[in-house]
Chains A and B, each alone.
Chain A
Amino acid sequence: MEIKVVKQIMEWNEDCSNEVKRELDEKKVFMINIMGSPGAGKTSVIVELIKELSKDYKVAVIEGDITGQIDAEKISEMGIPVVQLNTDGACHIEAMSIKNILAYFNLNDIDVLLIENIGNLVCPAEFNLGEDLKVAILSIPEGDDKVQKYPLMFSVANILLVNKYDMKEFFEFDYDKVSMYAKGLNPNLEIYRFSSKKEYDNKELFASLRRKIKDKLNK
Chain B
Amino acid sequence: MHELAITEGIIKIAKEVAEKNNANKVLSIKIKCGDFSGVIPSLIQEYFDIVSRGTIAEGAKLIIDRVPIKISCSECNNESEIKRSDIRCPICGGYQYKIISGKEFYVEALEVE
Q: List 10 A-B contacts (CB under 8 A).
A: A1-B111, A1-B112, A5-B107, A7-B107, A92-B2, A148-B86, A181-B87, A183-B96, A185-B87, A187-B98
CB of A73, distance to nearest CB on chain B (Å):
28
Q: Is the CB of A7 within 8 A of B13?
A: yes
Of A4, A9, A122, the residue contacting B1 (CB under 8 A) is: A122
Q: Is the CB of A12 within 8 A of B9?
A: yes
| Count of chain A residues near B, Cβ 8 A | 28
A5 proximity list for chain B (CB < 8 A): 13, 17, 107-110
Binding site for A on B (CB under 8 A): 1-2, 6, 9-10, 12-13, 17, 21, 23, 31, 36-38, 74, 84-88, 94-99, 105-113
Question: Taking chain B's interface residues, is the majority helix, strand, or loop, or is none over half, making it mixed?
Answer: mixed
Q: Is the CB of B95 within 8 A of A183?
A: yes
Of A2, A91, A152, A184, the residue contacting B97 (CB under 8 A) is: A184
CB of B44, distance to nearest CB on chain A (Å):
10
Q: Is the CB of A9 within 8 A of B9?
A: yes
| Cross-chain pair count, CB within 8 angstroms | 85
Q: Is the CB of A184 within 8 A of B94?
A: yes
> Known contacts A122-B38, A126-B38; is A187 also within 8 Å of B108 by CB?
no
CB of A189, distance to nearest CB on chain B (Å):
12
Of B2, B10, B95, B106, the residue contacting A181 (CB under 8 A) is: B95
